[in-house]
Amino acid sequence: MSLQQEIIERLGVKPEIDPNEEIRRRVDFLKEYVLKSGTTGLLIAISGGIDSAVATGLCKKATDELSAETGKEYMTLGVFLPYGEQADIAHSYEVAEAFNLKHRMELDIKEAVDEIALEVEYGLKMIGMSRHISRGSKGNVKARTRMVMQYALSFDLNLLVVGTDHASEAVTGFYTKWGDGAVDITPLTSLNKRQVRQLAAVLGVPQSVRDKAPTAGLWEGQTDESELGITYDDNSAYLEGKTVSDEAREKLERQYLKTVHKREPIPGI
């Protein structure tokens, strides 16, 4: 078995999908787990990107159906978590409007993140290193602070925190371990980026969101593809078992092998 075949099997990606069938399967998955967990709904952080938009559409469909079927109100809470002024925050609101989210809130993480960064820099001085926290480290602090906010809300509201992790992120390890990768449930897991886009078109994700360049929003101008040097077209084709250029295949497989630890449980002895 080639490494490509091993990766596809590990991540569970299909070579092609029926978007309507996948939507139904993933909505049912969410509904079943909400009932099993005894929670009152789902919390999704809406970044303004396509992944969180698709997850929002699935969540809202799931909680609407649960409310209709049980006579009890189930909530999808959409949370916007900008770091100060977010240039594309309007896209988050577009998504909330598109799916008629009744419950939504915007919480600014800037002050909390900056205070953490200052404390880290103070700690570095204590070991003789007078320097600023690195850009990458501060980006990870943003991701983890967003999760702290989500779990503070989910605890008091008895909600499950929904992640947007999917196979195209998993293969490259392009997420913050135990940051944005630490959630209760992930309805997009076995989809690649192209397939997420297929679901977006059927669910009614706004075109402006579907057309955006994918970004984790960790610093100004950052995009996934420029950071990794791999296009999502090549990434998706690889996960569908297709032939890609040697350069793209080598980059993807190198990223996969380098980030094995991110996909493993916490080790112990």
Q: Which two tokens stand for residue 248?
A: 């793209």
Active site residues: 51, 169
Tell the residue number behind the tokens 């070579």, with chain if given.
15
Residue type, 177: K
Contacts of 72 (CB under 8 A, 6+ apart): 66
Distance (Å, whole) CA 129 – CA 47: 35
**255 with 228: CB under 8 angstroms?**
yes
- DSSP character string of 90-157: HHHHHHHHHTT-SEEEE---HHHHHHHHHHHHHHHHHTT---PPPHHHHHHHHHHHHHHHHHHHHHHH
DSSP state of 231: -
Contacts of 206 (CB under 8 A, 6+ apart): 53, 91, 94, 95, 98
Distance (Å, whole) CA 178 – CA 262: 9
